[in-house]
């Protein structure tokens, strides 16, 4: 554990919690750093935490995650632009796994818009309402056979519209030109 000076410049280390092998070679660490902004001792001290781990086949830890002075969390980025900012490498893909005890039953709740997307046993379900999992109403579902039901939780064809009264609308843009 280390402590740095009282008036650090942007990016300076404030402290470090390191993990080493038996030869004292760093393999992982959590670093406290001065973040951008105005530093005034005891009244304004913007800081961030960075988390570093060592991948298989290399010997130098790499920054994997950051929590900045705004409370934004970045995974795969050093400058998160949202409360959770997850980015992949240029050659990889980005996945976010929501898993409940290995059964892949999960829900993504967007409370500001009262929308839920749930996944369970091979289905994807869309809900609207209070986003509290109790009083929300299912509006659509993809079942385990890939059928889409709108207004029904058990579609019996590739696309089933069960809203009352049933309606389906296709609109053609008449101002667009084709070549």
Tens digit of pLDDT per residue, the chain (179 long)? Answer: 455 567 788 888 888 999 999 999 999 999 999 998 888 877 888 999 999 999 999 999 999 999 999 999 999 899 998 899 888 876 656 767 666 665 556 667 766 557 778 887 888 888 887 645 567 788 899 999 999 988 888 889 898 888 666 566 667 766 655 55
Return the pLDDT at 13.
86
Residues contacting residue 81 through CB under 8 Å, at least 6 positions apart: 72
How far apart, in whole angstroms, are the C-alpha atoms of residue 104 and residue 53? Answer: 27
Return the pLDDT at 138.
85
DSSP 45-104: --EEEEEEE--TT-SS-EEEEEE-TTS-EEES-SS--SSEEE---SSS-------STTS-
Return the pLDDT at 133.
56
What stretch of H or E contains 119? strand 115-120
Global pTM value:
0.62
Q: What is the end-to-end Cα distance of the chain in Å, rounded?
A: 67
75 close to 88: Cβ distance less than 8 angstroms = no
Return the pLDDT at 151.
86
Among residues 71, 7, 9, 15, the alpha carbon closest in space to that of 42 is found at: 7
Residue 92 exposure: Cα atoms within 13 Å on the Cβ side: 7
Return the pLDDT at 148.
92
């Amino acid at each position: 554990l280390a402590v740095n000076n009282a008036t650090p410049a942007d990016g300076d280390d404030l402290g470090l919690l390191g993990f080493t092998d038996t030869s004292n070679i760093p393999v992982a660490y959590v670093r406290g750093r001065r973040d951008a902004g105005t530093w005034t001792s005891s009244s304004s001290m913007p800081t961030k935490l960075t988390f570093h781990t060592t991948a298989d086949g290399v010997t130098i830890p790499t920054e994997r995650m950051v929590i900045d002075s705004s409370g934004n969390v970045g995974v795969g980025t050093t400058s998160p632009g949202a409360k959770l900012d997850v980015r992949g490498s240029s050659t990889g893909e980005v996945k976010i796994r929501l898993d409940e005890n290995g059964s892949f039953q999960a829900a993504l709740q967007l409370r500001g818009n009262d929308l839920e997307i749930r996944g369970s046993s091979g289905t994807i379900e869309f809900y609207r309402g209070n986003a509290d999992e109790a009083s929300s109403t299912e509006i659509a579902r993809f079942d385990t056979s890939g059928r889409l039901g709108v207004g029904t939780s058990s579609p019996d064809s590739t696309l089933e519209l069960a809203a009352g009264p049933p309606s389906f609308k296709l609109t053609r843009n008449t101002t667009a030109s084709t070549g």
